[in-house]
């Protein structure tokens, strides 16, 4: 059986009651805290910065999964390491020297991820997959929560999985954007290892129950 990891997006949390939401995730079967870092330049929105990341880190009992939707992410890799992040993903579209950036993350004792926007073909990752611990496939255009899932994502995931298996790499596939109860199992069947969900969880009457149900829904037979 294959049960995917679930990384809960804090972008959809209640920032007026952040401690409550962090504790809820700690006590749930969720696996990671997903931190969407936006600078208003790479994406048309600003999310939250280091004070919020540090506040979450102090309470979190599960790994921090930082998704950097920012320009020149190399400037902040050491800062995220100091905050306690275990997973850091940077965008293919934002990194002039992506190979070096991924090595920088790894040398900082964190797992390195490369994220791609919906318009970016997975074939462009051929020469960097060996340096990536995971690939974050955006299934919406990054910048805002609660967007509609882009169906073409399924094809991209299948293509990416084939690339990884062909090269015998061990990197995982993460998907972020519009993940919910109706598409979670299909995504896992296509090859996804890590689901990012926020709106589907925090908009539910009971987020803890939603986390358990989403993981159960996504549970599938191993191929």
Distance CA 203, CA 29 (A): 18
Give the residue numbers annotated as catalytic, written as ranges. Answer: 36, 176
Determine the distance from the C-alpha atom of residue 202 to the mean position of all C-alpha atoms in its chain, rounded to a whole number: 16
Taking residues 15-34, what's their average pLDDT?
97
Q: How much is the pLDDT for 146? A: 65
pLDDT tens, 66-106? 999 999 999 999 999 999 999 999 999 999 999 999 999 99
Is 5-218 in CATH node 3.60.21.10? Answer: no
**11: pLDDT strictly greater than 80:** yes
Q: Where are the domains of the chain?
A: 5-218
Q: Are 64 and 33 in contact (CB under 8 A)?
A: yes
Average model confidence (pLDDT) for the chain?
Answer: 94
pLDDT tens, 147-202? 789 999 999 999 999 999 999 999 999 999 999 999 999 999 999 999 999 999 99
Q: Are 201 and 11 in contact (CB under 8 A)?
A: no
Q: How much is the pLDDT for 145? A: 67
pTM of the model: 0.95
Sign of the alpha-carbon dihedral angle for 67, 71, 73, 76: negative
Q: Are 31 and 5 in contact (CB under 8 A)?
A: yes
pLDDT tens, 38-58? 999 999 899 999 999 999 999
**222: pLDDT strictly greater than 60:** no
């Amino acid at each position: 059986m294959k049960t995917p990891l679930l990384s809960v997006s804090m972008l959809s949390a209640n920032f007026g009651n952040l401690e409550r939401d962090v504790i809820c995730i700690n006590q749930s079967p969720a696996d990671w805290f997903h931190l969407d870092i936006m600078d208003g330049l790479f994406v048309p929105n600003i999310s939250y910065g280091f004070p919020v990341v540090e506040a979450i880190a102090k309470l979190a009992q599960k790994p921090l999964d930082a998704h950097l939707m920012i320009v020149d992410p190399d400037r902040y890799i050491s800062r995220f390491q100091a905050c306690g992040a275990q997973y850091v993903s940077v965008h293919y579209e934002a990194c002039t020297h992506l190979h070096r950036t991924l090595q920088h993350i790894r040398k900082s004792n964190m797992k390195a991820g490369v994220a791609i926007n919906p318009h970016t073909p997975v074939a462009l990752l051929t020469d960097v997959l060996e340096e990536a611990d995971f690939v974050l496939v955006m299934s919406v255009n990054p910048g805002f929560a609660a967007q509609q899932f882009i169906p073409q994502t399924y094809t991209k995931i299948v293509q990416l999985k084939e690339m990884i298996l062909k090269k015998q790499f061990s990197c995982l596939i993460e998907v972020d954007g519009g993940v919910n109860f109706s598409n979670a199992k299909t995504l896992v069947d296509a090859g996804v290892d890590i689901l990012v969900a926020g709106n589907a969880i925090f908009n539910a009457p009971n987020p803890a129950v939603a986390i358990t149900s989403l993981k159960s829904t996504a549970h599938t037979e191993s191929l």
